[in-house]
Amino acid sequence: MNDLKDKNIIVTGASGGIGNSIVKKLSDSGANILASGTKVEKLEDLKSKFKNIKTLKFDISQTDKIEEFVDKATEEIGGNLDCIVNNAGITQDNLAIRMSIEEWRKVIDINLTSTFLLSKFSIKKMLKNKSGKIINITSIVGHTGNLGQANYTASKAGIVAMSKSLAIEYAKKNININCISPGFIKTAMTEKIDEKFKNIIVSKIPSARLGEPEDIANAVVFLASNQSDYINGETLHVNGGMYMA
């Protein structure tokens, strides 16, 4: 059983479909959660639905305030940090020859740079505890590439390589850094996909269906628990067999 009772966990991007499911699963497992995002109403809704949750509005694009955010978030859930789930991210799609430098930089800065900084300042907290778990949410397209997403795929592939480097640096300090790479998951974003194109995607998935947000949440709970203590620098692919590493 993945018992996370009294574990203090920060979840960024908590108000989206996958984030919502992650918060629910962690709450059901007994964790104390600091749910972060940019939409106050959705954060308050989370707080009303689940137990052991505190919320904090924060935009991870504010890189100069990330250390302050980690400090405040950690304080809100008891003063020590056991795990952070870096789930927040954005897309800004365009074909390469049309992609502006601003579109490139914004996605790289938010998805990759901010994830690095959130990890960095969380590690500082975890070194004091002499243990910790960092879970970075990447994407199947960071491994396969995708049309119109040179910026997004680069940011997600970068998270995988960065996480491996951090894992090497801090494994001896009992800090585990791993990634979860979702395939195509049922969210508000995938609901907007044209039905014809969605059928093409499903035809390429051996499981013949899109994943559920709960599938990602289950993987988060496992990696946050002591059952994953000897797993480090790895990427857990949750995609119904669409991409097999």
Domains defined for the chain, CATH in brackets: 8-238 (3.40.50.720)
d(CA 106, CA 91): 9
Residue 1's contacts (CB-CB under 8 Å, 6 or more residues apart) are none
Structure tokens at 225: 């628990």
Count CB-CB contacts under 10 A for residue 121. Answer: 20
d(CA 26, CA 132): 16
Work out whether the CA dihedral 140, 146, 150, 151 comes out positive or negative: negative
d(CA 169, CA 192): 40
CB–CB of 32/8 below 8 Å? yes
Residue 147's contacts (CB-CB under 8 Å, 6 or more residues apart) are 95
Residue 20's contacts (CB-CB under 8 Å, 6 or more residues apart) are 14, 46, 213
What's the Cα-to-Cα distance from 41 to each of 16, 29, 37, 47, 242, rounded to whole Å?
12, 24, 10, 10, 35
Return the pLDDT at 1.
53
Return the pLDDT at 176.
98
d(CA 89, CA 114): 9
Return the pLDDT at 191.
78
Tens-level pLDDT at each residue, the chain (245 residues): 567 999 999 999 998 899 999 999 999 999 999 999 999 999 999 999 998 999 999 999 999 999 999 999 999 999 999 999 999 999 999 999 999 999 999 999 999 999 999 999 999 999 999 999 999 999 999 999 999 999 999 999 999 999 999 999 999 999 999 999 999 999 877 777 788 888 999 999 999 999 999 999 999 999 999 999 999 999 999 999 999 98
Query: What stretches of the chain show up as alpha helix (H) in DSSP?
Result: 17-28, 40-49, 66-76, 101-108, 114-129, 141-144, 150-170, 188-191, 195-203, 213-224
Return the pLDDT at 2.
64
Q: What positions carry a catalytic annotation?
A: 152
